[in-house]
Structure 1
Amino acid sequence: MQNPLFPDPDAPPPAPARGVQPAEHGPALRTLAQALPPRLRLGSSSWSYPGWAGIVWAREYAESTLARQGLSAYAQHPLLRTVGIDRGFYRPLTEAEYARYAAQVPADFRFVVKAPALVTDALVRGEDGQGRQPNPLFLDPAAAVQAFVQPALAGLGERTGPLVFQLSPLPFAQLQRLPHVLERLRALLQALPDVRSATPDGVIAVEVRNPEWLSPEVAPALAAVLRDSGATYCLGLHAKMPRLAEQLPLLRALWPGPLVCRWNLNPLHGAYGYEDAQREYAPYDRIHDVDEDTRALLVRTLRGVTGAGQNAFVTISNKAEGCAPLSAQALAEALAGAPARG
């Protein structure tokens, strides 16, 4: 039987749509997205934040609901074409878990995935999260391949973006032997599968959390290891590290190549101010502290990188300015020539 031309006024209302629903994104936001370089992907470091109601979500949902079901709605935001998967840092993810993420996003979406602490922490962490004893698998090539790179590539497929090895702060003894650590890093990177050949936009990236890596004595050697291994440097914008301007020379030493940036913490809070930012910025529904210097230099850098035909990935934490999607929008507006949001 055909549906009647006019609805039955006595019929029950349709069932509400299931799952997390995206916010309404008007034509201005879509026009802004179309004005951005196609090789640029902006996004956040995660997505399960109820405070993004009206910005990313149609309404407020529970954090647990967003963690399980929010990714598909997140990926419908016109400006958010990448996202970080950080949870694998604490426990390696399986191929099936990565595949479930990939199934929820469009074909041109890319993931920025953080390697597990299993291979990036020099010290094994206790229950309080602090390093306690030497990690026998630190920079172990076999563990990196089996626990991270292989399942990520198999599960994410063409949606693989940067696979980031973030080397946690090293203990004093390791810092005194950085040339030795560099050789271990070289052995790890050269043992990994060729991610660039296996995927359209995949790349191995290395992020560091000790400023000693950027010293004049060490930075050229780090650049050589990355270049020889086909990897790149991840700009880690964290208060434990020098500002963006002081990290860019290492990226220039690897040119031409992609840009990978993780904008993590506003320097106003200091090197150990993550919890302060978390407390002050929650529920992450607005910009609190504009980092004008980072915004301006990022915009100039992104124009140069994408203008030369290279990929650029920027994932932003809520702890950078207060609300990652709005920080992404401010970058987009500046890139498109529109007034930046405050």
Structure 2
Amino acid sequence: MIEWRRSLEPFYVGTAGWGIPKQHAGSFPGEGSHLERYARCLPAVEINSSFYRPHRPATYERWAASVPSGFRFSVKVPREITHTRQLLNVTEPLDRFLGEVRALGAALGPLLVQLPPSLRYDQAVAERFFGDFRERFDGQLACEPRHESWFGDAAEAVLTKHLVARVAADPAVVPRAARPGGWSGLLYIRLHGSPKVYYSAYSSDEVEATARCLLATSAKARTCWCIYDNTAAGEAAGQALDLLRRLR
């Protein structure tokens, strides 16, 4: 049985990657690959490996064929675009990336642009990058800036203009970074773990607060995503399942 089909749309809850840690293996029963077992219990996953290396379209096709109808993948934009080229002169790697991820077909969810902490906001660069991105891709797009200069009204206006949701992240680099911004049609929350990034678990009260945020925002956002990235000690899988139960 696919457990998450009892959940409420438009919520997509998952983890960064579909690894199943030993302490939560019993919550992902059945035969098959880790992805197949994962996708029976959670409705979404964030592909982070695309940040480090390209994947062949055939690989994305195989992943899409491994999950049930309604499951969604978000995909992280390559670091060549965001970190190496810093949003400049990205036509070739962006076209290549989009050609790869489109092989997910109906299972493709938002694309995630995570910016390096050192990348300051530049109006002209942001306008050009997101404008060019939108000429090539009309799906959902989220951006996680990590320099404080991205959290002013000018950056908010550019993101909204190009229908880009600003990620609500924890830990937050500035207070405004903890709240969603940009285009309101998509909510995308990324929980990296705090106080120890990638390791720390969130308390029951914190999971409940995230559930309340998702429920409150769902009235205006067409889709609501929450990805747990506190995977280093295996906390993410259990917390994603806990959040999904609360949303029911």
- Taking structure 2 as the reference length, the TM-score comes to 0.85
Equivalent position SS for 2:66? coil
Counterpart of 2:128 (choices 181, 187, 190) is 187
Instruction: Go from structure 1 to structure 2 and tell me whether the alpha carbon gap of 1:307 and 1:230 turns closer, same or farther (over 3 Å shift).
Output: closer
Shift, 1:49, TM fit: 3.3
Cα displacement (A) at 1:309: 5.8
Distance 1:83 1:152 in 2: 14
Q: Provide the C-alpha distance between the structure 1 equivalents of 2:206 and 2:91, rounded to a whole number of angstroms.
A: 37
2:81 alignment partner in structure 1: 119
Q: How far apart, CA to CA, are the structure 2 residues paired with 1:322 and 1:210?
A: 28
1:94 Cα deviation after fit: 2.5
Q: Figure out how many residues of one structure are paired with residues of the other and give that number.
A: 246
1:105 aligns with 2:17: no
Which of 169, 178, 182 lines up with 1:247 in the alignment? 178
Change (3 A) 1:290 1:227: closer
> Does 1:74 find its partner at 2:35?
no
Contact 1:162-1:204 at 8 Å conserved across structures: yes
Is contact 1:141-1:189 (8 Å) kept? no
Whole-angstrom distance in 1 between the partners of 2:5 and 2:108 = 21
**Contact map agreement 1:289 1:322 (CA 8 A) in 2:** no
3-state SS in 2 of match to 1:329: helix
Q: Secondary structure at the match of 2:60?
A: helix
Consecutive unaligned residues of structure 1, counting only runs of 5 or more, are 1-24, 60-65, 122-134, 278-287, 337-342
Residue in structure 2 matched with residue 130 of structure 1 by the alignment: none
TM-score (norm 1): 0.64
1:231 matched residue in structure 2: 164
1:50 to partner: Cα distance: 4.2
Cα distance change on mapping 1:194 and 1:42 into 2, 3 Å = farther
Q: Work out the CA distance in 1 between the residues paired with 2:242 and 2:183.
A: 28
1 CA distance for matches of 2:47 and 2:8? Answer: 23
Matched, 1:163 2:111: yes
Taking the aligned partners of 1:147 and 1:101, their CA distance within structure 2 comes to 19
Q: Distance in 1 between matches of 2:12 and 2:136?
A: 18
Q: Percent same amino acid among aligned pairs? A: 25
- 5+ long unaligned stretches in structure 2: none
Q: Structure 2 CA distance, aligned partners of 1:298 and 1:228?
A: 27
Indicate the RMSD between aligned Cα atoms, in angstroms: 2.8
Shift of the 328–91 alpha-carbon distance from structure 1 to 2, 3 Å rule, reads same
What residue is the counterpart of 1:43 in the other structure? Answer: 14
The 3-state SS of whatever aligns with 1:241 is coil
Change (3 A) 1:43 1:289: closer
Instruction: Report the structure number with the largest CA radius of gyration.
Output: 1
Shift of 1:183: 2.2
